Amino acid sequence: MIVVYGTPPTRSLRVVWMLEEMGLPYEVRPIDFSKRTEDKEFLEASPTGAVPGMRDGEVRMMESCAILEYLAAKYGPTPLAPSIGDPAYPAYLSFLHFGEASLSGPLNIALATRFLAPEDQKQNWGAQCALDLFVRKSAALAGPLGRHPYIAGDHFTAADISCGYAAGFGRFLGVEDRLDPAVREYHQRMIERPAFRLAMRHAQPVN
């Protein structure tokens, strides 16, 4: 049984959402966030203590979007991951990584500053810069979404899980009004998917 360490709405959501889209059996193992660096079983999958981690038999993995690629490769073929001969492949791969590396990654700084920084630093320059970067880069989603319903073409893929999650992260941090309407509408469609809703059954507050 595949074990996902960490619960939605952390980036574990990407992995659980993918598992629901693929109809694979899995188990979610919640992580006590404040004690995660003492959780040996979780650290075997994610040695830095970043959520999510994943275990599949002898396999241990970290990095949410790498886990999506693994699941598609191991349990596919699946339309969620176009293959190299598919014209959608380059956009699929670009946006699969873009959703984390360019969009979600910098938001960690804004999130930590909002919830953990001393009162007089909650509006600091770095956190604002991370939000501005997110807004500017998320505009790159609008072009493809003007041409087709999903980020890599006419079909839903794991790149939508990656970028859909990122759009939700930005909305959570309050930049919704600054996003292109196509991105806002896209995010709304993503969270209405049955698999997204099933994944969110596992949601727990982050402590």
Ligand X SMILES: N[C@@H](CCC(=O)N[C@@H](CS)C(=O)NCC(=O)O)C(=O)O
Each residue 1-40 as x (binds ligand X by CB under 6 A) or -, in order, gives ---------xx-----------------------------
**CA dihedral over 146, 151, 154, 160, signed as positive or negative:** negative
Residues 114 and 125: their CA atoms lie apart, in Å, by 12
| Residue with smaller CB distance to ligand X, 4 or 51 | 51
Residues 120 and 118: their CA atoms lie apart, in Å, by 6
Residue type, 181: P
Residues 128 and 122: their CA atoms lie apart, in Å, by 9
- Residue 69 within binding range of ligand X, rule CB under 6 A: no
| Residue with smaller CB distance to ligand X, 55 or 153 | 55
The two tokens of residue 41 are: 């079983």
- Residue 100 within binding range of ligand X, rule CB under 6 A: yes
Residues 131-190 contacting ligand X, CB under 6 A: none
Exactly one of 49, 114, 173, 203 binds ligand X (CB under 6 A); that residue is: 49
- Catalog residues that contact ligand X under the rule CB under 6 A: 10-11, 49-52, 63-65, 100, 108
